[in-house]
Amino acid sequence: MGRKIRTRAEGDFNTQFLEEEFYPKASKKERRYKEAALIMGAIKEAERMKRPGRFKTTLAIAEDEFPVQVEKSKENSYLINLASHACDADIYEISPAVYSLILNDKSFEVDITERNGMMYVVIHDETYSIRESKTKGAAPISRKVPAGLAPSEKTVTAYMPARVLKVLVVNGESVKKDQVLMVIEAMKMEMEITSPGHGVVKEIHVKEGQSVIQGASLVTIVEMG
């Protein structure tokens, strides 16, 4: 049976203890990728089980076991609780088995496959093998939610009648604040339409060559932070 990650006092999963005790040489980036893989695995397991409301499980990565709680807040959005901390997660399918995963203000491209009861999650060329633990009675999970980290949707509109020349992003693509999303032409001038913040493209409302009126919706961004 795999070892459980516990604090010295409460017996709960604790990120700081995990870092100091088991992964002293791992970089913050490596720990972030592992957490993203764990969360992606938890979301896919919740979807597979088709359980409404909160879903609690214990997942194992290699020899380590982690209690996780998943709660769907709205379409594509989840509240994830790892006992030591909570975070918001949004997932968007880019192509079959490839997803854009946003955790608070961090974005990851994730490739996931399932085979023989095991999930294989690939993030930045690192593969994590995740399975549901046989261990029962995972430690209770806190409901504390980080303040000010909930995602919000913003729709960028045309500020004057125009024609769409170029669309530079696709649905599910991660974008940065002020990144150019598309180019429009108005009054014989080309103008760049930029992202209002960091996030992911939820929906593109227009196509190249299309004429739009003032106030028409161009693109919707799920903005983080």
Across the range 183-206, mean pLDDT stands at 88
Which pLDDT value is given to residue 210? Answer: 94
pLDDT in tens, 40-65: 988 888 887 776 567 788 888 766 77
Which pLDDT value is given to residue 26? Answer: 60
Residue 79 near residue 55, CB atoms below 8 Å: no
pLDDT of residue 191 exceeding 50: yes
Sign of CA dihedral 97, 181, 215, 74: positive
In this predicted model, which residue has the larger pLDDT, 9 or 116? 116
Angle, CA 203 vertex, CA 111 and CA 80 arms, to 5°? 50
Across the range 118-136, mean pLDDT stands at 79
Q: First and final CA of the chain: distance in angstroms?
A: 39
Q: Which two tokens stand for residue 212?
A: 């739009």
Confidence band of 206 (pLDDT split at 50, 70, 90): very high
Which pLDDT value is given to residue 164? Answer: 95
pLDDT of residue 200 exceeding 50: yes
Whole-model pTM: value is 0.51
Across the range 204-225, mean pLDDT stands at 88
Q: Which two tokens stand for residue 130?
A: 């995740």
Separation in Å, CA 34 to CA 22, 41, 121: 13, 11, 10
Which pLDDT value is given to residue 209? Answer: 94
List the domain boundaries for the chain: 3-132, 152-223
Which pLDDT value is given to residue 165? Answer: 95
Count the helix, strand and coil residues of the chain and give each as a percent rounded to the nearest 5: 15, 50, 40
- CATH fold of the domain at 3-132: Glycoprotein, Type 4 Pilin (3.30.700)
Highest mean pLDDT among 28-37, 133-142, 163-172, 203-212: 203-212
pLDDT in tens, 140-175: 333 333 444 445 788 999 988 999 999 998 877 778
| Closest CA relative to residue 133, chosen from 6, 1, 43, 23 | 1
Which pLDDT value is given to residue 142? Answer: 37
Residue that is written with structure tokens 């974008």 in the block: 175
pLDDT of residue 25 exceeding 50: yes
Which pLDDT value is given to residue 148? Answer: 45
Which pLDDT value is given to residue 213? Answer: 93
**Averaged confidence pLDDT in the chain:** 76
According to CATH, what is the number of the domain 152-223? 2.40.50.100
Across the range 84-89, mean pLDDT stands at 78
Which pLDDT value is given to residue 86? Answer: 78
Which pLDDT value is given to residue 62? Answer: 67
